[in-house]
Amino acid sequence: MGESLDRAAVLRGAGLGAAGLVAASLAGGQSAHAAPGAAEHPNVRLIRRYYEAYGSGDLEALRPFFAPDIRWTIPGHHPLAGTKEGVEEVLAFFRELGRAGFRAETLFLAADGDRVVDLHRGWSTTPAGLDITWALAFRIRGRRIAQVVNYAGDQHAADAFFWRTYPLAPLPGRLAERS
């Protein structure tokens, strides 16, 4: 028991909080907060650099991180939900998130082989109104992000926010033209 309490205190001290404790338990404790001198998994370094590029606000800086056939899945029942296929669709999704001033603060990263698990705080600023924990499951191929599933810590709050922020156009203009 003393060992788990000490580990919990260390993880809390690293800023991981309860979400990090759960993820660290599930991932065997291989946190992104490596001990001094410990080698960080190369895929954790990749995702850390990806978040630095994301934080810059320059969408073109994200392009080199993505495999050409990337698939990025956003679960939910809202206008931005679904699977984005290819770099252009993924960047279009991020362009829309940028309209809401989305920000991310990494809480926890762990890797095992070609998989990376990320927990982060994600929030909107324009308009404010969404501030939740997100869990992302990344699959890396050839040092690029090939697949992502983005899980909301509170899917109901995410759905409600995205409907308020990204309303559909009225009919008939909402529908795509048919040939």
Domain residue spans of the chain: 33-165
**Can you give the pLDDT at residue 38?**
65
**Can you give the pLDDT at residue 26?**
39
**Three-state DSSP class for residue 78:** coil
Which pairing describes strands 66-74 and 82-85: parallel, antiparallel, or unpaired? antiparallel
**pTM metric for this prediction:** 0.77
**Can you give the pLDDT at residue 14?**
38
Closest CA relative to residue 124, chosen from 157, 156, 92:
157
**Can you give the pLDDT at residue 22?**
38
User: Residue 143, exposed/middle/buried by CB under 10 A (0-12, 13-18, 19+)?
Assistant: exposed
Cα–Cα distance for residue pair 1/4, rounded to 1 Å: 5
**Three-state DSSP class for residue 88:** helix
Specify the CATH number of the domain 33-165: 3.10.450.50
* Residue at 68: amino acid letter: P
**Can you give the pLDDT at residue 18?**
38
Inter-axis angle of helices 2-13 and 17-26, to 10 degrees?
130
Cα–Cα distance for residue pair 63/7, rounded to 1 Å: 37
Q: Going from the first residue of the chain to its last (179 residues), give the mean pLDDT of each consecutive group of 10, the final group possibly shorter.
A: 37 38 40 58 97 94 98 97 98 94 95 98 94 98 98 97 92 78
**Can you give the pLDDT at residue 21?**
37
**Can you give the pLDDT at residue 11?**
36
**Can you give the pLDDT at residue 175?**
78
Cα–Cα distance for residue pair 94/65, rounded to 1 Å: 14
